[in-house]
Structure 1
Amino acid sequence: MRWIYGKQDFATIERSEENCFLMTNGLGGFSSLTIGGGAARNDHSVLMAALSAPGERYNIVHRLRERLYIGGTCKVLSSQEFSLGAAEKGYEYLCSFVWEDRPVWRYFAGGVEIVKEMAMAWQENTVAVVYEIRNESGEQAVLEVTPFLQFAKKGEDANLKTKFCVDKKNGGIGRIKAGSLELEWRTDGELEELCEEETYFYRYDACDGRREMGSARAVLKAALFVPPLSCLKMEMVFTLDHCERSASDVIREARTFRNDLAQTSGLKNPLARELVKSAGQFVSQRVSTKGKTILAGYPFFEDWGRDTMIALPGICLSSRQTGWARSILRTFASNEKDGLMPNLFPGGGNEPMYNTADAALLFINCVYLYCQTAGSLQLAEEMYPVMEHIIECYINGTHYNIHMDEDGLICAGGGMDQVTWMDVRVNDILPTPRHGKPVEINAYWYNALKIMETFCQAFGRDGSFYCHLAGKTKKSFVEQFWIESEGCLKDGIFGTPADNQIRCNQIWAVSLPFTMLDRTREKMVVKAVYEKLYTPYGLRTLSMDDPQFHPVYAGETFKRDMAYHQGTVWVFPLGAYYLAYLKVHDYSDHAKETVAGQLAVLEGAMREGCVGQLPEIYDGSVPTFSRGCFAQAWSVGEILRVFEALENDSTVSDGQVNGRASASARLADCGNKV
C-alpha cells in the first residue's frame, strides 16, 4: 500500500511529530523517525544497531540535520525540537511524506526540489539514504547533511565526553570510532570535519513521564554542490558491517524483501498484505539460542515467551513463513523447564525467566496450528515429548503455584507473582491480582488437552487419558465459570469480587480451536463482549461500568501501570473477538461481510502512530491516539489471522482454526507425511 501524508499532516512542529515510520533489520536493530524526519523520542534513530541480536542495541546515528544553501541563503529542511523551546522548521518546506515499503520525503524551496528516501538492510546494521536534488534556480545549490551521533546504549543518553576518532579518506569514506564501536559512512558527497553538540526535547517521552531530554554530537558532515538547472544524487550508507553496496541497491533490496513477504503469504486484501510486511519487522535472530524469535513491540520491548506464542500464528503462519515458526518453536522446546516455557531470554548468558502460566499451553496450540499450515505432522511428533511433559507438570504442579485442582481446572499464581498477561506489578501493588483459576488459562488448558488427544489419534496412540481429563475440565468449567445473569463468563475463580468482573479474557474460551461452551453460550459471550468491551480499535480490558475502570492511559509510570489492564483498550484481543464472531455465525457470507467492514476501519489506525503498523494500546474511554508501543507484534499477528480467515473457505466443527477444515480431518490428511 501507499500511505501519503500532505502538508496538512505536518502544519506545525507538533503535527510533524505525531506519526513515525519503522524499518527493522532482523537482528533487533531498527530505524525510526517522525514523518518530519526528526526524533521525538530518545529511542528514535536513523540507525539503532544491534551488536548482539536482538537485545544489545545502540543508538548510533540519532538524527540527520539537513540544510540547503541557495546562493547565500540557508534553508533548514530538517525538523527537530530542542531544549528551551527552540526548533528546526523544515516541515515548512516539506511537500509530502510517502510510505511505500520505505519512507520518501519531498521538499521544495526556492526553485530546488529534493526527494529523499531511506531503507534498512536485512540482517545488517546498515541504513541507506539517497537524496535527489533538482536545481531549477539560477544559482548554485548546496545540500549539507550532518549526522548527529550518540553511540549510546538504547534508552541511555549520550555521553558528551565520549572521544570520537575520525578517519576521513578520499572517495567519500569516513570512519568514526568511539571505544569498541566504529561507524563507517560512505557517501559521494564531500566530507568535512566539525564539532557540534545538540540537546533535544522529546515530546513523546515527556507526555509519558519518560526522559524528556537527550543529547548528540556531530563530528563529520557531507555536502553536494548542484549547479543551476541540473539534477544530481547524493547517496550515503551508514553501517557497522562494512557494506560496500550502493545506497540505491540497499533500498531496492529492502523493497524486494517486503514485496516477497506479501507474495509468499498468498493473501489478497491490500491491508492484509501490508500487515504481512509489517509482521516481518518483528522477526529477529537471537544469538543466544541460534534461532529466530519475535520481538514483542517497538520501540520498547524485546522478545517474551507469552507474546511470542500469541503472535506466532499470525506473524509466521498466516504469512506462510513456516520456517520462521519452526525455528522459534524448536528454540522454545529446547528451553522447556519443569513444564514451563521461557517468558524472557535475558542476555549475557543469564538463565531464562519462566514466570508465565500461558506460554507453555500456547506452545502446544502453536504446534497444532503449525501442523495445519505446513500440512505435516513431523514437527508435532518431534515436539510430542515436550508437550507431554508440559501436561504432566501442569497436572502434578510446577513453579509459580501452577497446578491442576481436583476438579480438573488449572490454578496459577500466588503472593506477588503475576503469571497471566495481565501481569503489572507496581512496587507492592498488584493492580490485577488474578491468583486462582483465570478464565483464559483454563481455556488454553482444555484446548491443549484436546490437541494432545488429536495428536494421539493421528499417531495411533491411546488418547483416552487426555479425552477423559478434557471432559472433566469441561464439566467443571461450565459449572463454575458461567454467569447466568450476565450471559458471559467470570474472569476467574479467585475468591474475590474480581471473579465477576467483565473482562476480555473470556473471548479466548470461544475463539480457540477446541472450546467448552455450547453454541448458544458462545454466542452469548460474543454478544456480551461486543456490548461491554468492543471498540473498533481493540477490546477494553474491563467494562466501563466497573468502578475500577480507568478511562485514560497516560502520565508517569505509576499512573500508566495502574490503568494498563483496568479498561485500557488492547488491539490484540480484537483478533480473537472477530474469529469468535465468525465461528458462532458459521462463517456465513453475512458474518464475513460484517467483519470485513469493521476491519476496514483499521486502515485509519495504521495511518496514525507508526505508519503501516498496529500499536499496543489505546485509552479505555475514547480510543483515538495510540499509546504504549507504536508497533506491537501480537496486535499485527492476531489481526492477520482474521484476514486469513476471511479469505479461506470454511466448514464449521470442533477443532476449526481460521476457517480451515476440522482438526481430525486435517491431521488425518497429514498422517502420511510424518
Structure 2
Amino acid sequence: MIDIGFGPQVCGDLTAAAGREWLVTDGRGGYATGTVAGLRTRRYHGLLVVAGETPASRKVGLVGLDPALTWPSGAQVRLGAHEWSSGDVDPRGFELLERFELVDGLPRWRWRIGDVVVERELAMTYGRSCVAVVHRLVSGGPVRLDLSAVCTWRDVHGERRADGPALRMEQADGGAVVEGAFRLAGPDWRPEGQWWLGVHHREEAARGLNPDEDLWYAGRFAGMLDRPGDTVSVLAWADDLAEEPPPATEVVAAARRRNRAVVGAARPADGVDATLALAADAFVVRTAAGPDVVAGYPWFGAWSRDTMTAYEGLFLATNRFDEGRELLRSYAATLSEGMLANTADTGRVEYNTVDAALWFLHAVDRHVTLAGDADLGAELLPALRGIVDAHLAGTRYGIAVDPADGLVTQGGPPDVALTWMDARVYGVPVTPRTGKPVEVNALWVNGLAGLAELARRAGEDAGDLVRLHERARTAFRARFPAPVGWLYDVVDGPAPAYPLGGAAHHDDDLLRPNQLLAWSLPYAPMEPDEPTLRRLLAGLFTPLGPRSLSPDSPGFAGRHRGGPAERDGGYHQGTVWPWLIGPLVDAHRRAKLPVDDLLVGLEGHLGDCGLSSVSETADGLAPHAATGCPFQAWSVAELLRVRRSR
C-alpha cells in the first residue's frame, strides 16, 4: 500500500490535521473514525459507532479515550483535543504529535514529550461491534497513563444534552456497562459520571447544522508504563456484553492480518491498487440478510443505485466473486414492478429510482462476464426479463418505454427526483430531469444488449431483446446528439413554460457528464467521438473528476458549501463527483485517447481528507476542496475499477 503518514508540521497544525480523517470499520456497518489531530470535528466521530438492524441505523457510544501522562514528580500532560462552544481548543495534545500514520490500514499516533514517547493503535474486530485501543511506551518512563472515557448513547445524526437524563452506568468486571448498550473494560477503572458541556463540532457548523453537544465523562482507566514495550489497553464493545473479547493487542494483530489478507486476495498491481482494495473492503458489510454495501461513511447506509454502480469495482476488481453472487441474489429478491428497492435509510424500503434496476442489469452482466458465472446469469434471467417487461408495460412514477421510439421516459409527481441527480430543496427537485435522461437511456440500451447475451448463453431465444436493443440504440443515436456539439442531457422533457405533462417538449442541452455513459458502457449506444469527448474534458474535468455542470452554464454553483438547502442546491449544479472518473476514463479509452493523466489528482487525493479513500464530492472551482462524505463507495470503486482494467 502507499505510505500515508504525517510529521509534526501537519499533526501540529490544527487546520491541516483536523481536515484529515481516518476510518476503521467492523464489517457490519459500524465504525471508529476521527481526525489525525484527535479532535472530533463531526457529530459522527467516535471510537465505537454501532450499527443496528441496518447499516444506516447507527448509534454513537464511546466518543473518546482522552490520554494524560503523569510523571513521578506529579507533572501531567494531557494528550487529547477538544473544541468548545466558546471557541477554545483545550487540551491541545496534537501539538505534541510527532507522527501519525496508517499501518496496514490502522491508525497509529506517536506523541513525544521530552524522552517519553507513547504510541496509540486502534482496531476493530471484524464481524463484531468491538474496538480495541492500545497504548505502548516506546521510550522513556516510568509514567502513569490515564484514559478518560468520554461517552454518549444517541442516534448518529443527533446530539445529547445535559438537560436530559444522565447516562445510566452499571459496574462490570474491569469497567462499566453504559446505558445497557455497550461495555468498557480496562485497567484500574474509576467511575466518575458528569457532563462535559458545550463540545463543538466545526464541520457540523460549516454544514449549517447544530454544532454543539454535551458529553458524559463516565470515568477513567489507568496503568503504569514503566519501561519501553509496556502497554495500557481498553476494549469497548456493544454485542454479547457478557462475553469479553480477546485482549486488545490480539484484536489489533488480527485486524492487521485480515487487512493484509484482503489486499493479497485482490492481487493488486501496485501500491495504489492495494490501498484502494483495502478502502473498498470498508464498504462491503454483512447484515442479517447477507452481504451489502455502505454507500459512504460516516452517514450513509445502503443505496441500491450506489451498490450497483460500485459493484464491479468493489467485488469483481477485488476478486470477491462469492460475496458478489450472494449480494446480487439478495437484491434480485427486492425487485418490484421492474424496480430495485433503493434504500432503507429513511426507516422504510423505498422504490424511487429510474436507474437502479438498469445498473442492476449491468452489474449482473459484468459479474457473469468477468467471473464466468453462467449459472447465476441463468438463475437471474427471469427476474432480469421482468425488469424489461415492467418497463414496457410502465411502472411507478411514469417510468415506461415510449412506444414511439423504444426509449425510457420518466416523470412522476413534481416532488420526486428519480435519477442519480436527486437533490431536493424544500421538497422541490433541483434537477428533476423529467423526460428521457441520457444516462438512463444509455443504461437501457446497454442493459438490453447485455440481457440478450445472457439469454443466448442460457440457450434461450433472445430475438425479442435484440429487436428492442436495436430500436432503442437507433433512436438514441438519432435523438441525443445536440447542435451545440455534445449530447442532450434530457430529451422530450416538459418545456419550462408548460406544466408537467404539457403538450410542449424541451430538449436540455446543458453540458453535464451524464452523457459519458453513452460511450463508456460495454454496449454503449454511441461510437467513440474524439471531438465531443475533448469538449467534455475542457468543460467538465477537474483533478478530482468531472463537474456535474460546466462553469459557463446557468445555475452553476462552484462551491458546495453552506447549510442543507445551499449544499443540496449545488449538489449537482457544478459540484465535482469523483465516481464519474470511471465513465470518463472508459469513454476516452474507447476513443483511444490518453487517460493516465486523468487519474493523477485522485491518486494524490488518497492522502487527503478521508485517508486512503476517495471523497463523495468536491468543489467545482479550484482548489476543489473535498466535500460530502470523506469515504464514498462508488468513488473508490470506480477509481479502482478503471485502474485494474488497464
TM over 0.5: yes
Q: Tell me how far 1:244 sits from its aligned partner.
A: 2.7
Q: Indicate the residue corresponding to 2:499 in structure 1.
A: none
CA contact (8 A) 1:279 1:633 kept: yes
Q: Tell me how far 1:596 sits from its aligned partner.
A: 3.0
Q: Secondary structure at the match of 1:413?
A: coil
Q: Tell me how far 1:623 sits from its aligned partner.
A: 4.5
Q: Tell me how far 1:346 sits from its aligned partner.
A: 5.2
Q: Tell me how far 1:168 sits from its aligned partner.
A: 4.7
Q: Indicate the residue corresponding to 2:362 in structure 1.
A: 365
Q: Indicate the residue corresponding to 2:236 in structure 1.
A: 238
Q: Indicate the residue corresponding to 1:456 in structure 2.
A: 455
Q: Secondary structure at the match of 1:306?
A: helix
CA contact (8 A) 1:13 1:89 kept: no
CA contact (8 A) 2:434 2:490 kept: no
Q: For residue 643 of structure 2, what is the amino acid of its counterpart?
A: F
CA contact (8 A) 1:7 1:96 kept: yes
CA contact (8 A) 1:97 1:104 kept: yes
Is 1:354 the equivalent of 2:354? no
Is 1:49 the equivalent of 2:46? no
CA contact (8 A) 2:18 2:35 kept: yes
CA RMSD of aligned residues (A): 1.7
Match of 2:570 among 563, 571, 576: 563
Q: For residue 113 of structure 1, what is the amino acid of its counterpart?
A: V
Q: Secondary structure at the match of 1:468?
A: helix
Q: For residue 303 of structure 1, what is the amino acid of its counterpart?
A: A
Cα gap change, 1:482 to 1:186, in 2 (>3 Å)? same
Is 1:611 the equivalent of 2:611? yes
CA contact (8 A) 2:12 2:37 kept: no
Pairing of 1:637-652 with structure 2 (within 5 A): 637-646=637-646
Is 1:83 the equivalent of 2:85? yes
Q: Indicate the residue corresponding to 2:508 in structure 1.
A: 499
Distance in 2 (alpha carbons) for counterparts of 1:29 and 1:549: 36
Q: For residue 83 of structure 1, what is the amino acid of its counterpart?
A: S
Pairing of 1:214-293 with structure 2 (within 5 A): 214-227=213-226, 231-241=229-239, 242-287=243-288, 290-293=289-292
Is 1:541 the equivalent of 2:544? no
Distance in 2 (alpha carbons) for counterparts of 1:346 and 1:577: 30
Cα gap change, 1:419 to 1:22, in 2 (>3 Å)? same
Q: Indicate the residue corresponding to 1:166 in structure 2.
A: 170
Distance in 2 (alpha carbons) for counterparts of 1:340 and 1:623: 39
Q: Indicate the residue corresponding to 1:114 in structure 2.
A: 118
Q: Tell me how far 1:185 sits from its aligned partner.
A: 2.2
Q: Secondary structure at the match of 2:230?
A: strand
Q: Indicate the residue corresponding to 1:149 in structure 2.
A: 151
Cα deviation code 1:91-148 (max 9, x no counterpart): 11110100121000000113211011001111111001111124525xx411110110
Q: Indicate the residue corresponding to 2:100 in structure 1.
A: 97
Match of 1:513 among 522, 533, 548: 522
Distance in 2 (alpha carbons) for counterparts of 1:478 and 1:388: 24
Cα gap change, 1:271 to 1:230, in 2 (>3 Å)? closer
Pairing of 1:440-451 with structure 2 (within 5 A): 440-451=439-450
Q: Mind listing any 5+ residue stretches in structure 2 that lack a counterpart? A: 496-505
Q: Tell me how far 1:526 sits from its aligned partner.
A: 2.1
Q: For residue 515 of structure 2, what is the amino acid of its counterpart?
A: Q
Q: For residue 363 of structure 1, what is the amino acid of its counterpart?
A: F
Provide runs of 4+ in structure 1 moved above 6 Å: none
Q: Indicate the residue corresponding to 2:416 in structure 1.
A: 417
Q: Secondary structure at the match of 2:151?
A: strand
TM-score, normalized by length of structure 1? 0.90
Q: Secondary structure at the match of 1:27?
A: coil
Distance in 2 (alpha carbons) for counterparts of 1:400 and 1:426: 20
Match of 2:582 among 553, 558, 575: 575
Q: Tell me how far 1:459 sits from its aligned partner.
A: 2.0
CA contact (8 A) 2:12 2:96 kept: no
Distance in 1 (alpha carbons) for counterparts of 2:465 and 2:51: 44
TM-score, normalized by length of structure 2? 0.93
Q: Indicate the residue corresponding to 2:625 in structure 1.
A: 625
Cα gap change, 1:115 to 1:487, in 2 (>3 Å)? same
Cα deviation code 1:189-211 (max 9, x no counterpart): 32212123223110111111122
Cα deviation code 1:276-307 (max 9, x no counterpart): 100110112233xx111111111121111111
Distance in 2 (alpha carbons) for counterparts of 1:85 and 1:456: 64
Q: Indicate the residue corresponding to 1:664 in structure 2.
A: none
Q: For residue 517 of structure 1, what is the amino acid of its counterpart?
A: M
Q: Indicate the percent of aligned positions where both proteins have the same amino acid.
A: 28
Number of residue-to-residue matches in the alignment: 624
Cα gap change, 1:334 to 1:531, in 2 (>3 Å)? same
Cα deviation code 1:300-348 (max 9, x no counterpart): 2111111111111111111111122112211111110011000113586
Q: Tell me how far 1:225 sits from its aligned partner.
A: 2.0
Cα deviation code 1:49-98 (max 9, x no counterpart): 12324233110011221111122211111122122122211011110100
Cα deviation code 1:611-657 (max 9, x no counterpart): 001000011122532101111101011111101111xxxxxxxxxxx
